[in-house]
Copies of this chain bind each other. A is one copy, B any other.
Amino acid sequence: MTNDFSPAMMTDMYEYTMLDAAMQDGTADRRCVFEVFTRHLPAGRRYGIAAGLGRILEMLKDFRPSESDLKFLRDRHVVSERTAKWLENFRFTGTIRAYREGEAFFANSPILQVEGTFGECTLLETLILSVLNYDSAIASAASRMTSAAGDRPCMDMGGRRTNESAAVAAARAAIVGGFAGTANLAAAKKYDLVCIGTAAHAFTLLHDNERDAFVSQINALGPGTTLLTDTYNIEQAITTAVEVAGPELGGIRIDSGDLASLAQKARKQLDSLGATNTKITVTNDLDEYALAALATAPVDSYGVGTMLVTGSGHPTCAMVYKLTEREGADGQMHGVAKKSFGKSTDGWRKRALRCYQYGLAQGELVVCGPAEKLASFEPDKAEYGDTKDLLITAVDHGDIDDSLTGHDALLAARDHHREALDELPVTALSLSQGEQAIPTEVITIA
């Protein structure tokens, strides 16, 4: 297959040159903690939704350069012979803690934490960031869309507007953000998802007239199918559709024009023809604002494409992967931090707590410090209210928690997304630009 890349190569070269230099100077075995976070949410966004952990875990199982990968790394002198040998048997033996998929995150949330040797942790950087940055961008957009859509199901139809493999990841991330299904077959097959879609304008144009096309589709898919009614004239198409399918026609789809007014007209016409249970689906460059504007239109479901798979204006999350703690020459762990202007980081590993009062989230507390101090840290209840730890263990000393991958984990993530949103202040769901829904406080107890 063409996209058959080893996960270990979907990686920036410098991960391997750093590994190689560290192997030579003896620091590759130093214990390290790397953390993924974003310095800021996209401008005006109230929250982000974490997604991609399950995909990282799937790929982690195969994260080892193949023989031909190793040949390439040797031939290009990316790594020395000793490092190449070490890579032959590579297996990640560290620990990964992360925000659940579907969890809300904010600036400085430690979304994922990797603990292990420098060598094994540095190799994972690029892949982890690729997955979390893209999947979380899609889930974050999907979350705003499903909030705007209320009880009406949103379906992913965006595959054609993003890279063909990204499309599969986008379909999955959309589920995390509350979508009900996808048009993408690869995603539906891999994750056992609801798959939707019946016909394009080309199917109508293929036939000598619209009636022939509708008859053909109903013969193949039954009267419960959804007919596309805007190839020529919507009113005529609806008349033809109900004539051909009867009032048990499953649905019609409108893909152009002013969707709210067209849906109103279509609903009236369908009702007058007795097709009172026929559903109306609309699909045409929808985003969360368009969905909100359609709230009072008689629409039953939405197909969302371009704006979903491009993150509705924010196609990536600006997440970074930073070394925050490492073993020194003294054998002790030390908090470390970059001091670059405007891009400084907080040293030491993090513990992330969501703080509640009256059952609603009030803030996020990020505590930096040595492992032992973090473990025994007790937040002051008077100041922080009830608290909940946000990092769960996904990989324990190399042992991958398979319950976080696959179909069931994905539906659990969608449920968790709904619960996470329900806990946020109501302003979180405002589509207008604003501050993040709850403040983040970062404290250090080193």
Contact = CB atoms under 8 A, between A and B. Distances in A.
Given A6-B1, A13-B197, A21-B220, A133 B118 contact: no
Nearest to A330: B208
Interface string A430-442: 0000000000000
Interface stretch (A23-31, A91-99, A348-356, A395-403): A23-31
A348 B134 CA distance: 39
Interface stretch (A146-154, A166-174, A263-271, A386-394): A166-174
A129 interface: yes
A160 B340 contact: no
A7 B17 contact: no
A244 interface: no
Interface stretch (A187-195, A373-381, A408-416, A421-429): A187-195
Contact of A164 (B10, B27, B231, B316): B10
B185 A13 contact: yes
Interface stretch (A103-111, A198-206, A289-297, A358-366): A198-206
Contact of A216 (B21, B34, B164, B220): B21
A315 interface: yes
B201 A62 contact: no
B1 A220 contact: no
Given A186-B5, A201-B338, A306-B316, A24 B220 contact: yes
Given A129-B160, A184-B12, A201-B338, A58 B2 contact: yes
Given A256-B341, A310-B316, A202 B21 contact: no
Interface string A123-152: 001110111011100000000000000000
Given A10-B168, A165-B166, A316-B310, A230 B340 contact: yes
Nearest to A127: B164
Contacts of A164: 5, 7, 10, 59, 126-127, 130-131, 134, 165
Contacts of A309: 316
Given A22-B216, A183-B13, A316-B162, A257 B341 contact: yes
A9 B161 CA distance: 16
Contacts of A89: none
Contact of A163 (B166, B256, B336): B166
A48 to B, nearest CB: 15
A219 B13 contact: no
Interface string A66-85: 00110011001010100000
Interface string A311-336: 00001101001110010110000001
A122 interface: yes
Nearest to A21: B220
Contacts of A338: 201, 205, 231-232
A272 interface: no
Contact of A166 (B9, B134, B215, B230): B134
Contacts of A220: 17, 20-21, 24-25, 80
Given A198-B17, A203-B21, A343-B256, A12 B160 contact: yes
14 contacts: A9-B185, A11-B184, A18-B203, A21-B219, A27-B207, A30-B206, A127-B164, A130-B163, A162-B316, A231-B339, A233-B339, A255-B340, A256-B341, A306-B318
Given A11-B185, A13-B185, A164-B165, 7 more contacts: A10-B165, A18-B203, A25-B216, A68-B189, A122-B200, A135-B163, A163-B169
